[in-house]
Chains A and B, each alone.
Chain A
Amino acid sequence: MTVMVQAEQVCKNYGALPVLKGVTLSVDRGQVLVLVGPSGSGKSTFLRCINHLETVTAGRLYVDGELVGYRERAGKLYEMSPREAAKQRRDIGMVFQHFNLFPHRTALDNIIEAPVHVKGVKKAQAVERAKDLLHQVGLSDKADAYPAQLSGGQQQRVAIARALAMDPKLMLFDEPTSALDPELVGEVLAVMKRLAGEGMTMIVVTHEMGFAREVADELVFMDGGVIVESGPPREVLSNPQHDRTKTFLSKVM
């Protein structure tokens, strides 16, 4: 099995404020890693570092063997040009808590936007693929709907389809169900579960412990910018070793 994401002592400061204080972990190809922890623990920041939406302050972060955001030559780091960074991000899909669909484009146009304009895929071909993706997330009849006309759960499923349209090798989910009504959470988790079953490498920040238990290969508990505890989800959830993990889990489960 090859390694997809490799984080070595990743640190991130906002000015004087340290948010990540040395996070080391690795995710193998085809694995699903779930990140849990209280708000402000740095899990979202870590996720955003992986596709270089945030710049790492110290440590090294590799995706598919490639250093994120920098080039290393003769032991010296060179900042990437925006063009190179954009090229790196193409292969990493990201799903946001608030969906961030383009409100001025229909569901279908949201999905073909990046394939057509970033990758240069032919429009007819992109539309075919988009329709297929909409079918996969159960929204074939919503192709012409604008995001404002869709429920939260539908919007998030379109957002997942939009990320998948770029054929990513890695998918990042930043609290994908936190902004949803409870009855809509299930439909989004079902799509994610299917995706995991198809062998997609995924890193998921979530509070859905049921999803973690069922789908994740590894669960990482973060607090205060460090990894407190990690392991197979069943073990961590049923038998947490650290007090902080115990306190957190007793509150969310």
Chain B
Amino acid sequence: MTAAAGSSPAPIDAVPLRHPWRWVGAGVIVVLVGLFLYGAATNKAYGWSTYAEYLFNDRILLGVWNTLQLTVYAMVLGVGLGIVLSVMRLSPNPVFGAVAWVFLWIFRGTPVYVQLVFWGLIPTIYQNIQLGVPFGPSLLHVNLQSLSIPFLLAVVGLGLNEAAYMAEIIRAGITSVPEGQSEASTALGMSWGMTMRRTVLPQAMRVIIPPTGNELISMLKTTSLVTAVPYSYDLYSIASREIAARIFEPVPLLLVAATWYLVVTSILMVGQHHLEKYFSKGISRQLTSKQLETLAKAQTEAGHV
């Protein structure tokens, strides 16, 4: 029977399905976690008093700050160079393509620890930098050995290694944008550069951001390898090599370092979530809350008339 819309039916009021096994499972897990926490709290090896004492230690906070700086600078270098490399790989110019390929081959194919040791040895290999006309007069002369540059070398080492990975991530993002998009832009008279900047890259960001977030978090942790340069003022070096080695209590200081790595990672995850939301604009058919509001308002207004 077909009835015209008139009296609306009563909303459904049913008894919800019960899930007893979920409660059992949760109970078992709570007991196990409780046992572990009790063990950890009473086990002297964890040294919780030392942990509390050093959590906000000045040297530790300096280490956190240095680690953050290393991460950000290396990542900026990595992303910037990664964009250049990915565009070079996609360019019709075979020279660019080959250069980018060789860069990737070397920097992705060797361990980052080895690369960092190598960068640390740069002042030994190249003792002087001279800028000038080849075989002619020298305009600028820098003696590398007289500079104290382990921080800079650590950033360059981490950044160049990262660029190789970022280049592949960005290339994957660019190729994920349908060809029709650049075609439509071209047909509207846009240049290649403008098509990239205004049409392709904003859409590629949706694909680029999640793995880049992973890379950023991974970079935060990889900074603990800069001791290879050697640079020794990052969080891990200060916690383990400086303080733990002095007071002979490695476990609480490792926990201090781990806590700070977790804190920073958590903050980064929040940032990543917001970036992902921003660049997924227009992807979903779902209306935004603002649009829903306008529609609802229009309906009620129409209803009143």
The answer to whether A and B come from one shared complex is yes
> Nearest 9 pairs between A and B by C-beta?
A90-B189, A146-B282, A100-B184, A114-B188, A100-B180, A94-B187, A89-B189, A118-B189, A104-B282
Q: Verify if B242 is at the interface (C-beta below 8 Å from A).
A: no
Give the B-binding residues of A (Cβ under 8 A).
Answer: 51, 53, 82-83, 86-87, 89-90, 92-94, 96, 98, 100-106, 113-114, 117-119, 144-149, 162-163, 166
A100 in contact with B186 (CB, 8 Å):
no
Cα A100 to Cα B279 in complex, Å, equals: 19
Contacts A146-B282, A148-B283, A149-B287 given; does A114 touch B190 at CB 8 Å? yes
B181 in contact with A100 (CB, 8 Å):
yes
Cα A92 to Cα B192 in complex, Å, equals: 18
Q: Verify if B281 is at the interface (C-beta below 8 Å from A).
A: yes
What are 17 pairs between A and B in contact, CB < 8 Å? Answer: A82-B191, A86-B186, A86-B191, A98-B180, A100-B181, A100-B183, A101-B184, A102-B181, A103-B203, A103-B282, A113-B198, A114-B188, A118-B188, A118-B189, A145-B291, A146-B281, A148-B282
Residue of B nearest to A106 (CB): B282
Interface residues of B in 152-187 (CB under 8 A from A): 178, 180-181, 183-184, 186-187
- Chain B proximity of A179: nearest CB distance (Å): 11
- Chain B proximity of A107: nearest CB distance (Å): 10
Partner of B184, one of A83, A102, A119: A102
Cα A118 to Cα B178 in complex, Å, equals: 21
Cα A101 to Cα B181 in complex, Å, equals: 7
Residue of B178, B189, B285, B287 with most partner-chain A CB within 10 A: B189
- Chain A proximity of B19: nearest CB distance (Å): 36
The main secondary structure of chain B at its interface with chain A is helix
Cα A53 to Cα B188 in complex, Å, equals: 11
Partner of A96, one of B180, B189, B192, B202: B180
- Chain A proximity of B141: nearest CB distance (Å): 42
A87 in contact with B183 (CB, 8 Å):
no
Give the A-binding residues of B (Cβ under 8 A).
Answer: 178, 180-181, 183-184, 186-192, 194, 198-199, 202-203, 279, 281-285, 287, 291
Residues of B within 8 A of A90 (CB): 188-189
Residue of A nearest to B280 (CB): A104
Residues of B within 8 A of A147 (CB): 282
Residue of A nearest to B290 (CB): A144
Residues of A within 8 A of B183 (CB): 53, 96, 100
10 additional A-B pairs beyond A90-B189, A104-B282, beta carbons within 8 Å, are A86-B190, A87-B189, A89-B188, A93-B187, A96-B183, A104-B203, A113-B188, A146-B281, A148-B282, A148-B283
Residues of B within 8 A of A162 (CB): 188
- Chain B proximity of A236: nearest CB distance (Å): 29
Residues of A within 8 A of B279 (CB): 104
Residue of B184, B186, B191, B287 with most partner-chain A CB within 10 A: B184
Residue of B nearest to A119 (CB): B189
- Chain A proximity of B202: nearest CB distance (Å): 5
B184 in contact with A96 (CB, 8 Å):
yes
Partner of B191, one of A83, A96, A102: A83
Residues of B within 8 A of A51 (CB): 187
A103 in contact with B283 (CB, 8 Å):
yes
Residue of B190, B202, B279, B283 with most partner-chain A CB within 10 A: B190
Contacts A100-B183, A100-B184, A118-B194 given; does A166 touch B189 at CB 8 Å? yes
A148 in contact with B284 (CB, 8 Å):
yes
- Chain B proximity of A83: nearest CB distance (Å): 7
Contacts A100-B180, A102-B181, A149-B287 given; does A53 touch B187 at CB 8 Å? yes
Cα A144 to Cα B281 in complex, Å, equals: 12
Residues of B within 8 A of A105 (CB): 282
- Chain A proximity of B177: nearest CB distance (Å): 10
A86 in contact with B282 (CB, 8 Å):
no
Residues of A within 8 A of B282 (CB): 103-106, 146-148
Residue of B nearest to A102 (CB): B199
- Chain A proximity of B229: nearest CB distance (Å): 41
Residue of B nearest to A90 (CB): B189
- Chain A proximity of B13: nearest CB distance (Å): 34
Residues of B within 8 A of A53 (CB): 183, 186-187
